Structure 1
Amino acid sequence: MRTSVGIVLVSHSPLLGAGVAELTEQLGGGGVAVAVAAGTEAGEIGTSYELIEAAVRQVDSGAGVVVLPDLGSAVLTARAVLADLAREDEVVLVDAPFVEGAVAAVVTASTGAGLAEVARSAREAWQSRKF
């Protein structure tokens, strides 16, 4: 079985993270590893270094990992985790709209695309118009 780029969804809200993961699993056909690092260890609103680090390790199959944060401290915390991992060529923090970027990343990863293409696809979701 071919490995695909893994996706980590970093959100302040466990419910938001779970909802986006549910959507992407349906659209990606279940063939892409998606992990949610949302909220605190106690299930409250917030962000957690430990949850983000564990999520990156969970989806890392060797093809790379795209990390998509929702906003604010999710970005800052994810940056700290990635700096400590020191794997900038293998784990990429992507500035993209959370839902649209996640969908684009998972769908692209499901085709077997590489890390750079998956990250680019998520970033390009900024250009997606709803109407």
Structure 2
Amino acid sequence: MSLGITLVSHVPEVAIGLKKLLKQVAVDISITTAGGTDDCDIGTSMGKIIQAFTDNSATEILAFYDLGSAKMNLEMAVELTDKPVHVYNAAFIEGAYTAASLAQAGVTRKEIEQQLKPLLVKE
């Protein structure tokens, strides 16, 4: 199985900017984004999240989000995809960066999850 990353943010530019940062350490990892509402306003879109899952070439996705309602839409979108998706309550930037760099190094998902434990900050 290949690991990919999906980033969900209330602001399109935040998701895009974080992807640019992650690509510095994870050039071979599929990273997709879902930022903002369908009309590119502040918020999240379940449709954009589902599209990000579809566009991600990995067979298994590690998903990170910024704020609470992003988590709600992310969890609903997980129910509508056939890909295994793991949602992490980690600090958005630090968690995604850690996961992406470890995935690039070929670390397993279980080992990545061990490294994410100190970064879990949301419920």
Which of 97, 101, 104 aligns to 1:107? It is 101
Do residues 76 (structure 1) and 39 (structure 2) align?
Answer: no
User: Separation in 2 of the partners of 1:66 and 1:86?
Assistant: 14
- What is the root-mean-square deviation in Å for CA atoms of aligned residues? 1.9
Q: What is the aligned length? A: 121
Deviation of 1:57 (Å): 1.8
User: Separation in 2 of the partners of 1:60 and 1:92?
Assistant: 15
Structure 1 residues 120 and 10: alpha-carbon distance in aligned structure 2, compared to 1, 3 A threshold: farther
Which of 79, 88, 92 aligns to 1:94? It is 88
**Percent identity (aligned):** 29
Runs of 4+ in 1 over 2 A off after TM superposition: 83-87, 113-127
User: Aligned to 1:44, what secondary structure does the other structure show?
Assistant: coil
Return 5+ residue gaps in structure 1 as ranges: none
Taking structure 1 as the reference length, the TM-score comes to 0.82
Taking structure 2 as the reference length, the TM-score comes to 0.87
Structure 1 residues 68 and 120: alpha-carbon distance in aligned structure 2, compared to 1, 3 A threshold: farther
User: Separation in 1 of the partners of 2:52 and 2:113?
Assistant: 17
